[in-house]
Amino acid sequence: MAPSLPVNALTILTQIIQSAARASSLESQINLIVDQISEQLAVDVCSLYRRLDDDSLSLVATHGLSRSIPVVIPPGSGLVGKVMLGQHTINISEPSQHPDYFYVAHSHEEEFHSFCGVPLIYRGVVNGVLVVQSRRPDCLCSEQEALLSTLAVHLAHLMISLASGPLRTRNENIFHSGIRGAQGLALGRAIVQLHPNLAKVQRLQSESSVRELEGWHHMKQAAIEEMCRERVIVLKEMGDGPASVLDAYQMMLQDPLFEQLIEAEIKAGFQLPWALKKAVESISEQFRVMEDPYLRARAEDIEHLGDKLYQIWKGDGEQSLPESEGPLILVGDRISVSVIAKLATRDLVGIVCFEGAALSHIAVFANALGIPAVMGVEGLSVSNGDPLIVDGTRGEVICAPSQVMQNEYRRMIRERELLDVRLQQDIHLPAETLDHQRVTLMANSGLQADVEPGLRFGAEGVGLYRTEVPFMLSESLPSEQEQESIYQNVLRQYRGKPVYLRSLDIGSDKSLPYLPGIHEDNPALGLRGIRYSLDNISLLTTQVKAALKAAGDSDQLHLLFPMIGSTEQLDESIALVKSTFEELTVQGFALRYPKIGMMVEVPSCISLLPFWRSKLDFISVGSNDLSQYLLAIDRNNPLVSKWFDPLHPAVLFELKRIVDFAKAEDLPVSLCGEMASDPVAVIFLLALGFRQLSMSAAKIPLIKSLIRHIDLGDLVQLLTEALRLDTAASIRHLGEQFIASLDMPCKELLAEIKRP
């Protein structure tokens, strides 16, 4: 146990941290810290090493050592490497006598006779080492060691920033990390589009509430007219799906709650921009607290709308786009839909957004266009015409790429294009293994914008239609007729193919803004999914009616109930479908009774499946929620997400139990969720016996290619080995080795796709 800090050490620590906080840059902060440590501990040397991708250690800052040449310590070498590998402090005298001593030429470290190295650990990973040395052959005392260890915690956080914006002697190949919005690689020149930022509006009193209200109505009408013009452009260049996003913007704009919030602020005496800002913040926050990542991303949509309205208020028209030839990369904060459509007619090859999430509408557009996108990129400084590399697969942007870097990415892009052509040729071939075992690949959906890509990439149906999404985008509860029209459209576009409609999966974690909210301390375990629907039975009745009428006498409709955890919940849901079907039949509607199934995501239901076999036509495993509940880990919580991997042995054993039961009882079983698009997980899902998977549409061609190069006979031994392993990492490594052994053209792509 590390010794506690005495009062004087705490004072020193505070002085160092406060002094560093005033530095103008990250580089200055780090240099100031090593200087201050040397001074306060009265040592001759303080050095900071950063861990590189190959586990070598690079000297990035020092007080006392010579830096006439770059210093890089090979992986695992020397006392510094030993500190990193062992993840513990080494505090010794006469380090040159230690068997692990590694001499760094030209550093003059032979002059120093003591060594204390402390690992820099952030969220369980060592990302650097802090070292102090002295000419005196004296180890640090316990108080000094405690101070150094405490400073290492602060430096570990700085090292994360250093990793995304490394200190360089040359201003090229500058990497910036972001969020994967759409996969692929692009090299081109930047076209920058920035908008007025509503978030920076100040709280100012108005002189006339009447004038501000008139301004609001004029601004609203101008926005509607502008979005109608944009819709024509988007419809022409990008199709029905992306155009439907603008319909969602208009619905939000006409939401009575949105208008009430704005008018309330204006009547309270504030200017229109402030009222707009407060309304946007209020609705955006309702989306941000939702657990579902798709719905959480809708917070960005209301913020996009707010910025558009603010731009209209300021009188700023759409920015003119600079003329530029060759491949273009659109860069901005909240990028305009119409600009994406306009550039799509030129040579748009990539998108970089300073804000946004993986499921934002900008990412949806990028996927629809088939171009890479990286979202949420911070600290990027770029001007029109600057060369950029966009790596949507890794979620990285490279500024000022060197000629060598550009040549390498051009080679990779050419290879990727050849592979894409190869994959595209196979999209209408069956997903069939080498030993002729058929696998059905389906698409997840929730918006009209998702439908077209699914058909384009060869989806054999909709394996999960999230019916709550239209509810979230509506200004009020969608009527039975509105829901019928939505479902009918999806069923019509997937004519002859199965469509799995999941009933409303809403609750206090995904609240509807027009219904009373319910506070819960733990919404993931609260009133959500089927629990919410059965407590609000009229919602479920209306939804089932709309679905039955939309399907008519076709056999496409599969009703899917979420979060079933008890017999009572299942029985009530089935009884409602039966009574609704009978009621509509009596009224003269020509209907076919739908297939009825449930999501297997609440662990308790696995043990109850034998009791329910006669009540179900199919089951669908929701791998995201099932894994979270089994592991007691929120995969979206960065503090614990490193422990989340659906290839955890406990998850595999439960999946095996589900599939074994389904096989024995001849019960159709499918799986949706991130596992279905994770190549390594797919191998084990096939080995377990899953033959129907549902995923993001863009992942279908690659997963199909993987399946077409597998012999299921080879997976028998692989699964046996996997079920003997007790860590997700070892199981994942086993799967990666198997993929590496395959004779297939897309192995490189599969290797690049890390687990979600």
Positive or negative, the Cα torsion across 76, 79, 84, 85?
A: positive
Distance from chain centroid for Cα 587: 46
The answer to whether 504 touches 468, Cβ cutoff 8 Å, is: yes
The answer to whether 530 touches 564, Cβ cutoff 8 Å, is: yes
The answer to whether 239 touches 248, Cβ cutoff 8 Å, is: no
- DSSP string covering 444-507: EESSHHHHHHHHHTT-SSEEEEETHHHHHHSSSPPPHHHHHHHHHHHHHHTTTS-EEEEPP--B
Q: How crowded is residue 87: how many other Cβ atoms within 10 Å of its Cβ?
A: 11
Tokens of 625: 């929620």
Residue 20: exposure state from Cβ atoms within 10 A (0-12, 13-18, ≥19):
buried
- DSSP string covering 197-252: -GGG----B-S-HHHHHHHHHHHHHHHHHHHHHHHHHHHHHH-HHHHHHHHHHHHH
* Helix pair 604-612, 567-586: axis angle to 10 deg: 50
Q: Give dist(CA 727, CA 498) in Å, integer.
A: 37
Give buried/exposed letters for 256-290 (b at 16+ CB in 10 A, else e).
ebbbebbbebbeeebbbbbbbbbbbbbbbebbeeb
Give the ranges where 566-646 is alpha helix by DSSP (H).
567-586, 604-612, 623-631
Rounded to a whole number, what is the distance in angstroms from the first to the last CA of the chain? 36
Q: What is the CA radius of gyration of the chain?
A: 29
* Helix pair 7-21, 26-41: axis angle to 10 deg: 150
Distance from chain centroid for Cα 228: 31
Residue 720: exposure state from Cβ atoms within 10 A (0-12, 13-18, ≥19):
exposed
- CA-nearest of 516, 512, 628, 513 to 563 is 628
Catalytic site residues? 361, 672
Tokens of 570: 């299942």
- CA-nearest of 300, 298, 333, 304 to 223 is 304
The answer to whether 277 touches 502, Cβ cutoff 8 Å, is: no
The answer to whether 650 touches 600, Cβ cutoff 8 Å, is: no
The answer to whether 589 touches 549, Cβ cutoff 8 Å, is: yes
Residue with tokens 């921009």: 273
Tokens of 146: 């405690």
